[in-house]
Chain A
Amino acid sequence: MSGAQQVLAAGPSVSVSGPGQPPGHRRLHGSDRILAIAFVAPYAALFVAFAVYPIGYALWMGSTPSLYDDLIHDPRYLRSVVNTLLFVGIGVNVKMFLALLLSGFFMRPRWWIKTLLVVYVVPWTLPAVQACISFHWMLSGEEGLVDRLLSVLFGVDGPIWFNHRSLALGANIVAYVWKWMPFWTVIFLAGRMAIPQDVSDAAAVDGASGSRRFVHVTLPLLANLYLVCTLLSTIWTMGEFTTVYFVSGGAPVWATDVLATLGFHYAFDVANPALGVAAVMSMLPVLVPVVIVLMRRLQTRTVQL
């Protein structure tokens, strides 16, 4: 459940802030008050039972200091930290930047581009497990589609992808970008559509070329959306499990594990859930500041209920 699905939370930041509270000239009377409480109650109950309590429980599980001592002494842990940083740092930035550029491409008014958009979005709707298995199979062994194509088209013997740490890590990143880029492209596309056409037209009349319009008009207007989306995506990608688990599976020999897959290994293969929680929890020092910046950003425009 990586984040991308959850996505749109970025919304309010761009929405030109609408009327906040419904104009409140009439107040609730008694029976409606009770009804309002009854309407919110199911969600409130769910939130307390399945969000607040588990979060508290996780903090409690991971609060034993000796767990972190064990982590530091496990060489796999340090490698996973590095992998997580590489995976998030490269994966998120490449994905977001390409998505931003491609959203401009999809703005072009051509029928075939509209059709292409539908095909382009399909990866996002494909179930992650199956898509990642397909990626794994495309790259593994000599029968993999990619190596076969390399030898048929160029007469090159492809590498054994999952035998090299950097190639395997690269494969994870590519699969991740493939799966989630369409989603963000659509978000940016919606953001671009919200920019009034006359702003761009005015710049064009003033003689601004395409690239200059992008830098001086589109970019500043999309900057906040871009930042919010990147922060959100960073948060969700930190916990990314499926891609790494199914594409490289940690190959070669645990060298490409990220914190989420390492935590999974601790919790389910070694049956030490507390250590699993601690491994994932050690992301908090990076995660918390990101969350705080994000909340501030959202607050500026925002969730005025």
Chain B
Amino acid sequence: MTSGRRAPWRVRLRRLLTEAGAVMLGIALLIWSVTPVYNMLLIALDPEEGEVEFSGNLWPPEPSLDSFRVVLTQDARYLEHFWRQLGNSLYIGLTTMFLTVLIASLASFAVGRMRLGQGWLRTGAVVLSNASLLTYAIPASLLVFPFHRIMHDYGLSNSPCAVIAAQVTFASPLAILILLEYGRLIPIELDDAARVDGASSVEVYRRVYLPLTTPALAVVATYALVLVWNDYLYQFALLSSERHMTAAVMQAQLFDDADPPWNAMMAAAIIYSLPPVAIFLVLRRTMTAALTNWWR
């Protein structure tokens, strides 16, 4: 056999092996990503209440959606106020999302597009935006203790506003950074053209800036919502009454109980997990566009 004929054969074998390796890795990643989610589903679909009996089946013998009915009708311990708790979470999440988008877009518009010149105004803006990054240098779990006290001073103890204020503060610096970077992709001449046509700064912000930064705003909004949805510590520490309890805090009570209604709790967990997953799936394309653009 000449080496001329052997080469393609080797190359083909190598490609085949690489491809097979990729498929194996893909399967491994699929199992890795899905197992904990599958576990939630498995428990939720099990009709037995109480202690989970997983008897080696990869699927419950008699899967039942009863636990979801139990959640929807608030018919189990801990879940008596499920809708109100989910409502509380949504209220905090959506308000944080809205305020983060508003505050961050206003600040980044002023800093990035209003030509602050070289005076104290610009210096102030630069100092503020660098200092804001420091917010990330301190672990959130360190700040929760002083927050607990400070909110009392502000008259916000046991108020959802306290959690919202904390989360907006944590979400804003990164949001501003993303918006500033993204804003650089938009020619400032567009603003100038609008101004020549007589638009005021407020109008430029509303009619030019907001529409053009939509993809970045989508990223910022999702980021803020995910931040709230992942949080437990702040919602637990800053909201003490039953009335303001959020879904995340309710779920955590599982650990105080020896025999909780597991399947219903897992069904509740699945329902609670839906909003961010759905938002991510819907905004995925817009977000990737913004992320990759921003990166260049």
Contact = CB atoms under 8 A, between A and B. Distances in A.
A82 B248 CA distance: 29
Interface residues of B, number: 114
A103 to B, nearest CB: 12
Interface stretch (B59-67, B68-76, B225-233): B225-233
A190 B291 contact: yes
Given A28-B116, A32-B114, A148-B54, A277 B145 contact: yes
Nearest to B19: A110
A137 B39 contact: yes
Contact of A305 (B126, B148, B166, B254): B126
A159 interface: no
Interface string B165-181: 11111111110111011
Given A12-B181, A105-B25, A291-B137, A61 B121 contact: no
A303 B121 contact: no
Interface stretch (A69-77, A197-205, A260-268): A260-268
A194 B115 contact: no
A184 to B, nearest CB: 13
A9 B177 contact: yes
Interface string A217-252: 000000000000000100110111110011001000
Nearest to A20: B184
Contacts of B273: 126-127, 130
Contact of A43 (B36, B172, B188, B248): B172
Contacts of B126: 305
Given A22-B112, A28-B116, A273 B149 contact: yes
B193 interface: no
Contacts of A42: 102-103, 106-107
Interface in B142-177: 142-143, 145-150, 154, 165-174, 176-177
Interface in B270-296: 270, 272-273, 276-277, 280-281, 284, 291-292, 294-296
A135 interface: yes
Contact of B168 (A46, A61, A125): A46
B145 A276 contact: yes
The 6 closest A-B pairs by CB, nearest first: A239-B139, A39-B110, A130-B269, A260-B141, A50-B169, A57-B146
Given A246-B255, A280-B141, 17 more contacts: A1-B234, A12-B181, A40-B107, A40-B125, A42-B107, A46-B172, A53-B150, A55-B143, A105-B25, A113-B26, A129-B252, A133-B251, A134-B269, A245-B232, A263-B142, A273-B145, A303-B177
29 contacts: A3-B136, A5-B223, A7-B174, A19-B184, A21-B115, A22-B113, A35-B110, A35-B202, A39-B106, A46-B103, A47-B132, A57-B149, A61-B146, A105-B22, A113-B26, A120-B33, A123-B37, A125-B276, A127-B272, A130-B273, A137-B43, A178-B32, A186-B291, A242-B232, A246-B232, A273-B149, A280-B141, A305-B126, A305-B180
